[in-house]
Amino acid sequence: MAQVVVVTGAASGIGAAVARHFGGLGAHVVVADIDKAGGEAVAKEVGGLFVRTDTTREADNLALIATAVETYGGLDLVHLNAGVGDGGGFAEDDYDTERQHRVLAVNLHGVMFGLHAALPALAAHGGGSLVVTSSMAGASAATFDPVYAATKHGVIGLVRSLAPTWQEKGVRINAICPGFVRTSLLPAETVDYLVGEGFAVAQPAEIAASVAEIAAGEEAGRAYVLQAGRAPDPVSFPKFELVRTGA
């Protein structure tokens, strides 16, 4: 039976590449994006279904998952990939509350809404995999966009905190932390600069292949750094034990 795969932010970039990857494997792909024209084009290309989705609205997330289940009878994989950058900094000439709220709404609240909608549906179908797009900025400092970095750190915290409970219900939750990727988040001049400086810039298709590999695995609660030409590299987090009285 063909897999049922939902991908948010799938009208372009990594999301579109993931949709194409699974479409090529014969999956039923549900393409979700706020960009109607782009999303419909990708859905047509992969023989899937487009559902216009504003991930910052909880109702849209619930409707997306409900539509996927009603149309195809279940759910196997959800990739919560939608994201934006440029939350600004904290200097007087770069502090913008509206920009901050937008990045928080898409990158963090949108993921929360997506998790809330998708996790019970995956469990009800007998389990499956959920992958969230974080960033290398979620596992390290990112002075160029601290608000973006904060949301991506938050995404990893969600994944690590939710994974144990939902793994018991058959749902594996993991995060990907891409490095430099040729998407609309990186202007062409930035890509040219990075390549000129000798940095590797991945193609979205390469990231999509890694998403498929992670989704098919047995691990849960992991965050994987994805860089051009390298296998998924799990992030090592420190382990702490609570101090007991008298210890």
**Enzyme catalytic residues:** 135, 148, 152
Compute the distance between CA of residue 208 and CA of residue 147 in angstroms, rounded to an integer: 26
Helix (H) or strand (E) holding 128: strand 128-133
The length of the chain, given as a count of residues: 247
169, two tokens? 């219900």
Bridge partners (DSSP) listed for residue 8: 32
Residues 196/171, Cβ–Cβ less than 8 Å? no
Report which residue type is found at 217: G
Q: How far is CA 229 from the centre of its chain?
A: 20
Chain position carrying tokens 């990739």: 79
Chain position carrying tokens 């090529």: 24
Compute the distance between CA of residue 172 and CA of residue 145 in angstroms, rounded to an integer: 30
Question: Residue 120: how many CB atoms within 10 A of its CB?
Answer: 15
- Distant-in-sequence, close-in-space partners of 103: CB < 8 Å, separation ≥ 6: 84, 85, 86, 87, 147, 148, 151
